[in-house]
Structure 1
Amino acid sequence: MQYEGVLTKMETEYGNPIQYYLVFESSFLNVNQLLDKNIAINFVGFQCLNCGKKKKIFRQGFCYDCFYSSAAVGDWIMKPELSTAHLGIEDRDLAYEEKVQLQPHIVYLALSSEIKVGVTRKTQVPTRWIDQGANEAIAIVEVPNRYLAGITEVALKNHYADKTNWRKMLTNDIEAVDLVAERLKLEDLIPAEVQEYFYSNKNDLYQMDYPVLQYPSKVKSLSLDKTPNFEGKLTGIKGQYLLFEDGTVFNVRGSEGYVVSIEV
């Protein structure tokens, strides 16, 4: 069978194991069902996720013009401490920024390689942790806006990584850490204005079970720009990556906006 459409990040369903879906305009594919089967991924073209035009993708599924104009990719997305909607100050589109920034946010610890600290909207739990390939994750605070989450993350970056080592994550080279105990160590590290939101006694550790038949010992990243046609046996899915028998890994989210055909 052949499926064709614009790549967006895989939709997920929390379970044992996690279920993954590739969703196209007129069809969808349960990727778990492709495990241990050969699949072909062929590059067809580009389509900006924002304007829909067939323009080369610049970053995050957006063409160059949209990346520098759309409110959905403002600097506060990657740096929550730059959020200003709580002050009524617009970055690119105040209505959009109020909708996204002025809602409950979680600051968390996740274990996807070593311990990392991160921020996500409460509505994205546990999706955010699945997307980054965390084996375990736990909330530190729940705050009413993105700015408070951002300044908490900044304070904790001095003690924890804020990025996932994707190679370690995909080879399952994960430290053994008690995240519940780790959370109790950091209460005094968070800003004074966030102290009242600290989670101290909640038993809310999430554990993720990924559909992986075999982890690779080494990984090599598939770029559709360099290799527009690829075929291999699927041996796992973790984070937003497809893992293949020969050690090739394909970052679906990193290829958003690429139009592909998939043959199974």
Structure 2
Amino acid sequence: MNYEGVLKKMQTENGSPIQYYLVFENDFLNMNQLLGKKVSINFLRYQCLNCGLQKKIYRQGFCYDCFFEIPQAADWIINPELSKAHLGIEDRNLAYEESVQLKPHIVYLANSSSVKVGVTRKTQVPTRWIDQGAHEAIEIVEVPNRYLAGITEVALKDHVSDKTNWRTMLKNDVTDENLVEWRNKLKQYIPAEAAEYYLENNSETNLEFPVLKYPEKPKSLNLTKNPFYEGVLKGIKGQYLIFEDDTVFNIRSNEGFVVRITVN
């Protein structure tokens, strides 16, 4: 069976295990059903997720021009402390920025390679944790806008990482941490502006990924250097496909690539 389309991050559905779906314009794949099967990926061309033109992808699925113009790729996306919509100040498009920034946001702790702090919109829980490959997570604060979440994350980054080691996460070389204890320990570092939004009594969420075999030495598939790959799918974690020969393919970092996927 052949499936063709532009890559976008896999859609997920929390369950035991998590269900993964690759959605193309005219095709729909439940990736869990491909576990144990031989799958080939053939890179065909680029297609910017914003303008739709066949232009080389620069970052986040967007071509160079779109990346530096559209509000969906502005700096506050990666650095939420730069958000200014709560002040009525426009960065690239105030209406869009208000629609995203002025919504409830969560600052959380997640354990994917080690304990890390992160920010997400409330509507993206637990999707954000799944995308990061976290097997456990807990919310610390729930604030009314992205700016407050951003300054809280910045304050906590002095005491806990904000990065995931993708190799460690994929090898599942992780230890269980008591996230309730971590949350309580970090409470003292929450900025005064966000202190009233601290979540006191919530428990951690545990997530189960569909993996038959974890890679011992994960090596990343680069479609620009190797436009064709074939292997047996052994697992899915975060936004990565894990293959039998320890090759891993990050769907998220290949958004905007048009591919043909063949299942044997």
- Counterpart position of 2:180: 180
What is the CA-CA distance between 1:44 and the residue it aligns to?
0.5
The 3-state SS of whatever aligns with 1:20 is strand
Question: Is 1:39–2:43 an aligned residue pair?
Answer: no
Q: SS at the partner of 1:158?
A: coil
1:118 partner amino acid:
G
What runs of 5+ residues in structure 2 fail to find an aligned partner? Answer: none
Instruction: State whether structure 2 residue 218 is matched by structure 1 residue 212.
Output: no
Matched, 1:222 2:234: no
Is the aligned partner of 1:200 residue 2:193? Answer: no
Aligned-pair identity (%): 68
Residues 1:102 and 2:102 aligned together: yes
Question: Equivalents in 2 of 1:151, 1:181: separation in Å?
Answer: 22
Distance 1:252 1:47 in 2: 15
Counterpart AA for 2:195: Q
- The answer for the alignment partner of 1:241 in structure 2 is 240
Deviation at 1:27, TM superposition (A): 1.2
Q: What is the Cα deviation at residue 186 of structure 1?
A: 1.2
Q: How many residues align?
A: 263
Distance in 2 (alpha carbons) for counterparts of 1:175 and 1:78: 27
2:150 corresponds to: 150
Rounded Cα–Cα distance in structure 2 between residues aligned with 1:58 and 1:182: 37
- Can you list the C-alpha shifts for 1:163-191, whole angstroms capped at 9, x where unaligned? 10000000001122100111111111100
CA contact (8 A) 2:139 2:202 kept: no
Structure 1 portions without partners, runs of 5+: none
Q: Aligned to 2:172, what secondary structure does the other structure show?
A: coil
Q: 1:261 maps to which residue? A: 260
1:249 & 1:172 partners in 2: Cα distance?
13
**Per-residue CA shift, 1:78-128, capped at 9, x if unaligned?**
000000000000000000000000000000000000100000000000000
Query: How big is the shift at 1:200?
Result: 1.2
TM-score by length of 1: 0.99
Instruction: Output the CA distance in 2 between the equivalents of 1:156 and 1:62.
Output: 31
What's the C-alpha RMSD, in Å, of the aligned pairs? 0.5
